[in-house]
Amino acid sequence: DTEVTQTPKHLVMGMTNKKSLKCEQHMGHRAMYWYKQKAKKPPELMFVYSYEKLSINESVPSRFSPECPNSSLLNLHLHALQPEDSALYLCASSQAVSYTQYFGPGTRLTVL
């Protein structure tokens, strides 16, 4: 079973809102990732967590705040976003950071 789940599927928010994206996996994977994907472009890495510790932050603006409360759960907290942040946000997990990544279905975010 290589299932990664993400909620919500769609999210519309204003620039002053605070919202969170959630990602969950029950495969015992110890590495989890957030990617941002604009239309007709490949995914771009945002953050990597390894054993619940942040190991990579790809110079992402502070209005995106990741959190890994436990080994199965990864959150992305959003605050004061801009319209250009509208995109598909993909979560992925892997057994460890050197293993194959499996992706969730994504959250389509629209910032008004």
Partner 1 sequence: AQTVTQSQPEMSVQEAETVTLSCTYDTSESDYYLFWYKQPPSRQMILVIRQEAYKQQNATENRFSVNFQKAAKSFSLKISDSQLGDAAMYFCAYRSAEGAQKLVFGQGTRLTINP
Omega cis (within 30) before 8? yes
Subset of residues 66 to 105 that bind partner 1, contact rule: CB under 8 A: 88, 90, 92, 97-98, 100-105
CA distance 91 to 77: 13
Q: Which is nearer to partner 1, 28 or 42 (CB)?
A: 42
Which residue in this structure is represented by tokens 């239309």?
39
Collapse the DSSP code of 66 into the 3-class scheme (helix H, G, I; strand E, B; otherwise coil) and give the result: strand
Binding positions for partner 1, 25-54, rule CB under 8 A: 31, 33, 40-43, 45, 48, 50
β-bridge mates for residue 34, sequence order: 47, 91
The correct pick among 21, 87, 106, 109 for binding partner 1 (CB under 8 A) is 106
Binding site for partner 1 (CB under 8 A): 2, 31, 33, 40-43, 45, 48, 50, 55-56, 88, 90, 92, 97-98, 100-106, 108
